[in-house]
Amino acid sequence: MVFIRDPQAAASGSSCSPLGRSDNVMIKQLVQEYISKRQHKPGETVQFGWFIFRIAGSAEIETLDFKEIASFTTDFSTVERIHALQRGALARSGRGEEGCTLWQSAVVSRSYSPEHQDAFLKRDAPTDANDSGWYVGVSKEERPMDDVESFVRRSLYELTIRDMRMAPFWLLPSGTTVALNSGEVT
């Protein structure tokens, strides 16, 4: 697996800048333009912004389908929807984007389950390159907060597949809290 990152994005500290440059251009077009200027081989994966794409052939690109782990499709509708939701959440919050990747992890309370009515997201500063800074918790936590066994680490990708309510908020910056049921950002 090969990861190709935009050097301008890496220099700025954001893995998401290529997608932020034009909301009127479809993601598939941006990715095609991006990879047309770089060497690539069929089967390689390309990290472009928050998303991962796979080169399927000389002119074909696949995207993760967000239905199950490592499942790719040529249908970009889910990726386009997630991108629009992320841009909308950033615009509504009035906050700047803080980049992250699908592969980065979040700390997750073992009390959380997908679609939990009292689930929330809270972002602090990441602790290392693999950490997104996100915490997934529930109001009225029943497990002891000082017990490491009360928490697990999950990739943002896995969390998104299991609970699509999270997808719009991953690019919000440190200091953000989101009530998942209402979508309220504070």
pLDDT digits (tens, 9 = 90+) for 126-173: 999 999 999 999 998 777 777 888 899 999 999 999 999 999 999 999
Cα–Cα dist 33/87, whole Å: 21
Confidence at residue 69, expressed as pLDDT on a 0 to 100 scale:
93
**Span 59-114, pLDDT tens digits:** 789 999 999 999 999 999 999 999 999 999 999 999 999 999 999 999 999 999 99
Coil/strand/helix, residue 174: coil
79 versus 9: the higher-pLDDT residue is 79
Cα–Cα dist 4/45, whole Å: 8
Coil/strand/helix, residue 160: helix
Letter for the amino acid at 62? E
Instruction: Tell me, rounded to whole angstroms, the distance of Cα 126 from its chain centroid.
Output: 14
Confidence at residue 6, expressed as pLDDT on a 0 to 100 scale:
39
Predicted TM-score (pTM) of the model is 0.83
% helix / strand / coil in the chain, to the nearest 5? 30, 25, 50
For residues 48 and 99, is the Cβ–Cβ distance under 8 A? no
